[in-house]
DNA sequence: ATAGGGATTCTC
DNA sequence: AGAATCCCTATT
């Protein structure tokens, strides 16, 4: 399949993100993360996401309230929230919540689309892995797209340097053809079974670029709306 | 000031 | 199974 055309004007608008993160997370599946560098474009299709809520969500960074680190989660929807985990890996989130709330969607895995060789080079020793695995994980995708904390609070709606592109409807439907499933979020057992057990991890079923397999319940197609 | 630990990944 | 490695958060 030919790589979908990508233009800054395709950047998802503020209204796309101004909804509860649990609604935005599945809608992001099949859309594109676009990284515009000096003279190159690196693009990946989102195949796995996780929704994180506000202070009530015991699995969310926002549980600490408004602090220096979590501030972006309480800020304008459509901006990036990039944090460092385990002292060495960056993770990319898009801020999403309805007015007066807090929340974000963690981008957990991409299918490489454009700029694959650049992604591979950035993976260093691990670049020998199969193409489908180059961005199969929240830290891996940041490495491949050269996304670090300098992008924290970056406005994703501008279509500059880093944004989410909404592909043509046919392309979007095609990407989602295998179906969308939902299951528990990864690595949040500390939150207690109530919060850790919620099916807020979303993925395109059986996709080869998932960070890890997801056995989950199919999401009713009715809940998937055209972002535009 | 200091201790505890993490929305991960790679290697042994 | 264990290390790498830094910064955030809560506590003293």
Residue with tokens 């528990």: A184
Q: How far apart are CA A217 and CA A179, in angstroms?
A: 10
What does pTM read for this prediction? 0.95
Q: Is-contact A64 A50, C-beta < 8 A? A: no
- A61 strand C contact, CB < 7 Å: yes
C-alpha–C-alpha distance, residues A182 and A25, integer Å? 10
Which nucleotides of strand B lie under 7 Å from a protein CB? 5-11
Please tell me whether any atom of strand B lies within 7 Å of the Cβ of A123.
yes
Please tell me the predicted confidence (pLDDT) of residue A40: 95
Q: Looking at strand C, which nucleotides approach a protein CB closer than 7 A?
A: 4-10
pLDDT of residue A222: 52
pLDDT tens for each residue of chain A, 228 residues long: 667 778 787 999 999 999 999 999 999 999 999 999 998 999 999 999 999 999 999 999 999 999 999 999 999 999 999 999 999 999 999 999 999 999 999 999 999 999 999 999 999 888 899 999 999 999 999 999 999 999 999 999 999 999 999 999 999 999 999 999 999 999 999 999 999 999 999 999 999 999 999 999 999 765 455 545
Helices (H), chain A: 14-17, 21-27, 71-74, 116-122, 138-144, 169-175, 193-196
The position carrying tokens 């399949």 is A1
**What is the pLDDT at residue A58?**
97
Nearest nucleotide over every DNA/RNA strand to the A65 CA, judged by C1': C9
The per-residue pLDDT for A221 is 62
Return the ∠ at Cα A197 (arms to A207 and A201), rounded to 5°.
25
Report CA-CA distances (Å) from A80 to A72, A134, A208, A216, A219: 7, 22, 26, 28, 26
């Amino acid at each position: 399949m030919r790589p979908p055309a990508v233009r800054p004007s395709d950047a998802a608008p503020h209204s796309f993100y101004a909804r509860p993160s649990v609604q935005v997370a599945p809608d992001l599946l099949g859309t594109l993360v676009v990284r515009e560098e000096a003279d190159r474009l690196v693009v990946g299709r989102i195949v796995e996401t996780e929704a994180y809520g506000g202070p009530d969500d015991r699995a969310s960074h926002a549980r600490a309230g408004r602090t220096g680190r979590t501030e972006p989660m309480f800020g304008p929807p459509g901006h990036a929230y990039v944090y460092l985990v385990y002292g060495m890996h960056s993770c990319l989130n898009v801020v999403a919540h309805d007015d007066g709330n807090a929340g974000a969607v963690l981008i957990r895995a991409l299918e490489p689309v454009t700029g694959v060789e650049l992604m591979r080079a950035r993976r260093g020793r691990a670049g020998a892995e199969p193409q489908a695995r180059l961005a199969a994980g929240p830290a891996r995708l940041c490495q491949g797209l050269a996304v670090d904390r300098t992008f924290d609070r970056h406005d994703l709606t501008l279509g500059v340097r880093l944004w989410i592109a909404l592909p043509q409807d046919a392309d979007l439907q095609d990407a989602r053809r295998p179906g969308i499933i939902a299951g528990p979020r990864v690595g949040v057992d500390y939150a207690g079974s109530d919060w850790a057990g919620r099916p807020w991890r979303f993925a395109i079923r059986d996709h080869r670029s998932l960070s890890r397999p997801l056995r989950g319940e199919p999401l009713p197609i009715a809940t998937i709306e055209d972002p535009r």
